């Protein structure tokens, strides 16, 4: 990957992803935050609602990770759903430690563990 892409992956937070619809197979593009923990990239969502993007990635883990802040790039990627409770706990602890606590908002790690989707992103070879 280029230096610009590596820098964006290290510093940016907001991206778009394009998944394939679970039932339709049609492309679906949404804006989402990504998170870095222990040198790996993750996607998740705040509890407690279901996420279509997660269902799409479980059905078809290949997607496009669109950088759009400090660099622009469309990166082919593969999602690995994180379902192991110990792995989920470790990743969510790392993610939540980096997020600002908003006034009046309390989402303990237990709520994230119970109700939030979590995938690890790996970038496909060009």
The pLDDT score that the predictor gives to residue 120 is 98
Closest listed residue to residue 16, CA positions, set 88, 59, 92, 77:
77
Q: What are the pLDDT tens digits along the chain (126 aa)?
A: 899 999 999 999 999 999 999 999 999 999 999 999 999 999 998 766 778 999 999 999 999 999 999 999 999 999 999 999 999 999 998 988 887 664 455 557 777 788 789 999 999 986
Phi, psi of 52 (to 5 degrees): -65, -35
Give the ranges where the chain is alpha helix by DSSP (H).
3-11, 52-59, 85-98, 109-115
CB 66 within 8 A of CB 17: yes
CATH of domain 3-123: 2.30.110.10
The pLDDT score that the predictor gives to residue 38 is 94
The pLDDT score that the predictor gives to residue 103 is 47
Domain boundaries, the chain: 3-123
- What is the pTM (predicted TM-score) of this model? 0.90
The pLDDT score that the predictor gives to residue 98 is 84
The pLDDT score that the predictor gives to residue 111 is 76
Phi, psi of 23 (to 5 degrees): -95, -40
DSSP for 53-87? HHHHHHH--EEEEEE-SSS-EEEEEEEEE---HHH
The pLDDT score that the predictor gives to residue 101 is 64
Q: How many whole angstroms separate alpha carbon 11 and alpha carbon 69? A: 9
């Amino acid at each position: 990957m280029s230096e610009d892409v590596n820098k964006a992956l290290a510093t940016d937070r907001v991206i778009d992803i394009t998944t394939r619809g679970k039932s339709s197979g049609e492309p679906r593009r949404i804006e989402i935050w990504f998170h870095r923990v222990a040198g790996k990239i993750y996607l998740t969502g705040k509890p407690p609602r279901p996420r279509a993007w997660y269902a799409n990635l479980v059905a078809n883990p290949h997607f496009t990770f669109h950088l759009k802040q400090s660099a622009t790039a469309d990166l082919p990627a593969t999602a690995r759903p994180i379902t192991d409770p110990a792995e989920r706990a470790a990743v969510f602890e790392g993610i939540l430690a980096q997020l600002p606590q908003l006034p009046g908002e309390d989402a303990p790690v237990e709520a994230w563990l119970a109700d939030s989707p979590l995938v690890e992103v790996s970038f496909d070879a060009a």
